Structure 1
Amino acid sequence: MQEHDMSWVRTEMALAQPAPAGVVGFGAWVRKNLIASAGDTILTIVGIALVVMILPQIINWAFIDAVWTGPNRTVCATVAQGGIQPDGWSGACWAFVNAKFGQIMFGTYPVEERWRPILVGILLVVLLLPMLIPSVPRKGLNALLLIVVFPIVSFFLLVGGAFGLEHVETARWGGLLVTLSLSFVAIVVSLPLGIVLALGRRSRMPVVKMLCVIFIEAVRGIPLITVLFMASVMLPLFLPPGVTFDKYLRALIGVSLFAAAYMAEVVRGGLQAIPKGQYEGADSLGLGYWQKMYLIVMPQALKLVIPGIVNTFIGMFKDTSLVTIISMFDLLGIVKQNFSDANWATAQTARSGLIFAAFVFWLFCFGMSRYSMYTERRLDTGHKR
């Protein structure tokens, strides 16, 4: 038999070769994202020019020429060529933020009791961080502590009146304390309630479907400021004599129900995006309705609408500023309230206070946005039809 020449057959695997130098590294990123075309190059040049023009002025105003400490507005007077200009733009008045920092964080919460909201904040961070890190085990126990135990402990710590703690009425709460507490409870309540409403709207039972549709469309058809006004002013008119609710509790219920209505539509969009074959496959396995939703449908639906869910959370976090309509002062409300202080009543301090409040809101909202993007990438395992 004629022997074949096997010298051309590979006897070992070729080693992995590095990527071409032109497609990796900082230079490749610049060519791809900044100067890929003539239009991109022009926009990049214009953007760099704007940054060079604006950024130094921002740095000078916010840091170099800023006033960081002082007893009143006189320390923020800026010396310019034409003389003293109390409302000039040559430097930020962070002395105002520094002087009012306690109120911005806690409102009129008693100074000697402020360790309680600080402890609540520490507990929130300690319980929230393990939930956000995928590699940390025991997520079920962590969720139980965060969603069930933490609100109960926080209630007794913040309100007091038990275990030897001084009672602090919610009318004295304010600042970031109100913003975070309102948004946290609204987020915890609105997501499961929104899921129930979304399932109810897709239900085959006419009464359940009708009630869910009426609630969702009625709440989504009116602004949040109206909901808060009705919860604060109109609700007590329908209660029996002598029966009343705390103003903070009314705001909490109003914001939570309002967010749940929007969350329901977000979740319903995810449910409608699931292919019919997923439902039929779950039915073929003999799963009941709740098993099918819990094990098959809902995990896929929630993964698809992560951007919508986080967008609702961010909107809810910012909308807490509307509680000012019912005489509650969140972060922005307490900053604006301090503008009336005669010791700090200048346009310069107002600008500095508003910019500080905007930065705090941006910090939280940007953090939620980036984490949602990370979660999307981590859960992006593909979707087969």
Structure 2
Amino acid sequence: MQEHDLSWVRTEMALAEKAPARERGVVAWLRKNLMATPVDGILTLIGLVVVALIVPPILNWVLFSAQWTGADRAVCATVAQGGSQPEGWSGACWAFINAKFAQFMFGRYTDSERWRVILVAVMFVALLVPLMIPRVPRKGLNAILLFLVFPVIAFFLLVGGAFGLPYVETQLWGGLLVTLVLSTVGIAVSLPLGILLALGRRSRLPVVKAVCVIFIETVRGVPLVTVLFMASVMLPLFLPAGMTFDKFLRALIGVALFASAYMAEVIRGGLQAIPKGQYEGADSLGLTYWQKTGLIVLPQALKLVIPGIVNTFIGMFKDTSLVYIIGMFDLLGIVRQNFADATWASAQTPMSGLVFAGFVFWIFCFGMSRYSIYMERRLDTGHKR
């Protein structure tokens, strides 16, 4: 057999070549994502037509014909200079938002004491942000400060009556302050309480299971408005004479208990999704019930139901607007209350106020949604960190 000598052997990998010109660039992206098939092309054209019809009027109302400054409703009842709108029509009345902004944020909270609210907000953000960033160290200390120390400091700062701070009754609270306090306390209380209720519903102890089932099914069977009315109107009737609770505290308890019942069902779904082998493996290691639950079962269950947990948080954040029914003014409630101000009564005032309130709610809800997506990807077993 004739032998052939190898005259050349490759000693390094060939360099990667660029993709063909038609497979890269903006045109390639448009062709792949918007024009891949005839149906995609038709839908893209229809979408462009709809955007062309809707977006310009919205931008015109929000920006170009909007009134940004002014002292009263007169600026919102006139046509923008150079505008082509019908007589008596104008864009958004952002001057109304500008004039009432402080009230939308703090309600009737004493003007000279609003620095206390701002300080609480700064402290909350300063403690929450490091806790949400995985790379920041000392998570244990951070959690102790946020969940144990901060609530005490925030209570004395917001309410006052101690350490030389004037007392500010909760009836003067309003706006975004009420919305954030209700939702933050509700979130902080509903998650651990929901976990306990979910575990109790799966308990083998008949009394514990019955109590949890009755509570969950009763609360989930009535609307939040009913719970708020019970907490605000009916609860004082069952208290001893002369004993009462602050209305804001009653609303806090009602919202937290209502959210915890829904949270319990979300977490119970995660517990049921854990394979039986996980329980058996924990039992084979000789772990106690609480060790098995806290170290093996709950971490996996909570990871599975992150979307459901955040969905409950978002729903509770928006449902805080229902406290308007019991005479408390959250962000939406105080915006609606100001519609009756004759100084700013105009055709554009209600729409401008509602758009502003909706935008603020959207910012917080969108932020929670995006962070939950980030956590899902980070906790994904196959995700590269």
TM-score by length of 1: 0.93
How far the C-alpha of 1:345 sits from its partner, in A, is: 1.7
Which stretch shows the higher mean deviation, 308-317 or 17-26? 17-26
Partner in structure 2 of residue 73 of structure 1: 73
- The answer for the alignment partner of 1:113 in structure 2 is 113
Aligned 1:301-380 pairs, distance under 5 A: 301-380=301-380
Deviation track 1:160-186 (CA, whole Å, cap 9, x = no partner) reads 001111100000000000000100000
CA contact (8 A) 1:77 1:84 kept: no
Aligned-residue offset at 1:82: 8.8
Whether contact under 8 Å (2:77, 2:346) holds in the other structure is no
Q: Residue 207 of structure 1 aligns to which amino acid in structure 2?
A: V
Corresponding letter in the other structure for 2:116: R
Aligned pairs for 1:1-385 within 5 A: 7=6, 12=11, 14=13, 17=16, 20-21=19-20, 26-79=26-79, 84-85=87-88, 88=89, 90-382=90-382
Verify the 8 A CA contact 2:77 2:347 in the aligned structure 1: no
RMSD: 2.2
- Please tell me whether the aligned partners of residues 109 and 173 of structure 1 are also in contact (alpha carbons under 8 angstroms): yes
Query: 1:213 Cα shift?
Result: 0.5
| Post-superposition offset of 1:42 | 1.6
**How far has the Cα of 1:26 moved from its partner?**
4.5
Instruction: List alignment gaps of at least 5 residues for structure 1.
Output: none
The 2-side partners of 1:76 and 1:139 are apart by 50
For residue 150 of structure 1, report the CA deviation from its aligned partner: 1.3
- Tell me how far apart the structure 1 counterparts of residues 163 and 153 of structure 2 sit (CA, whole Å): 11
Shift of the alpha carbon at 1:16? Answer: 6.7
- Alpha-carbon distance, 1:57 to partner: 1.6
Give the letter for the 1:175 counterpart. G
Letter in 1 for 2:208: V
Q: TM-score, with normalisation over the residues of structure 2?
A: 0.93
289 and 233 in structure 1: CA distance in 2 versus 1, 3 angstrom threshold: same
Instruction: Decide whether aligned partners of structure 1 residues 10 and 379 sit closer, same or farther in structure 2, where only a CA change above 3 A counts.
Output: farther
Whole-angstrom CA distance in 2 between matches of 1:225 and 1:13: 72
State the Cα deviation string for residues 28-86 of structure 1 (Å, max 9, x = none).
Answer: 5434432232222222211122212221221111111111111110111223779751x
Q: Secondary structure at the match of 1:78?
A: coil
Which deviates further from its counterpart, 137-146 or 354-363? 137-146
Distance 1:173 1:18, change over 3 A: farther
8 Å CA contact 1:176–1:330 kept in 2: the answer is: yes
> In the aligned structure 2, how far is the partner of 1:19 from the partner of 1:280?
53
**Aligned partner of residue 342 in structure 2, secondary structure:** coil
SS of 2:318 mapped into structure 1: helix
Aligned pair in 2 of structure 1 residues 172, 11: CA closer, same or farther (>3 Å)?
A: same
C-alpha distance in 1 between matches for 2:64 and 2:147 = 44
Worse-matched range after superposition: 116-125 or 175-184: 116-125
Contact 1:161 1:167 in 2 (8 A): yes
For 2:189 and 2:34, locate their aligned partners in 1 and report how far apart those are by CA, in whole Å: 44
- For the structure 1 residues 60 and 291, does the alpha-carbon distance in structure 2 shift closer, same or farther, using more than 3 Å as the test? same
How far, CA to CA, are the matches of 2:36 and 2:334 in structure 1? 48
State the AA in 1 paired with 2:72.
N
- Tell me, in whole angstroms, the C-alpha distance in 2 between the residues paired with 1:315 and 1:378: 24
Residues of 1 paired with 2:213 and 2:318: CA distance? 26
One-letter identity of the residue aligned with 1:348: Q
Amino acid at match of 1:315: G
Q: Give, in whole Å, the separation in 1 of the partners of 2:84 and 2:2.
A: 98
**SS state at 2:164 partner:** coil
Question: Aligned letter for 2:253?
Answer: I
SS of corresponding position for 1:267: helix
Q: 1:174-205 CA deviation, whole Å, 9 max, x = no partner?
A: 00000001000000000000000000001111
1:102 positional shift = 0.8
Are residues 287 and 338 of structure 1, via their aligned partners in 2, closer, same or farther at CA, if it must alter by over 3 Å?
same
Aligned letter for 2:143?
A
Q: Structure 2 counterpart of 1:357, which letter?
A: A
Name the aligned partner's letter for residue 191 of structure 2: L
The number of residues matched between the two structures is: 379
| Distance in 1, Cα, partners of 2:266 & 2:308 | 6
- Distance change in 2, residues 1:45/1:284 (3 Å): same
Distance 1:165 1:276, change over 3 A: same
Give, in whole Å, the separation in 2 of the partners of 1:301 and 1:5. 64
> Does the aligned pair in 2 maintain the 1:279–1:292 contact within 8 Å?
yes
Query: CA separation in 2, counterparts of 1:289 and 1:24?
Result: 56
Contact 2:76 2:346 in 1 (8 A): no
Distance 2:2 2:338 in 1: 96
CA distance in 2, matches of 1:298, 1:173: 38
Determine the C-alpha separation between the residues in 1 that align with 2:122 and 2:159.
Answer: 17
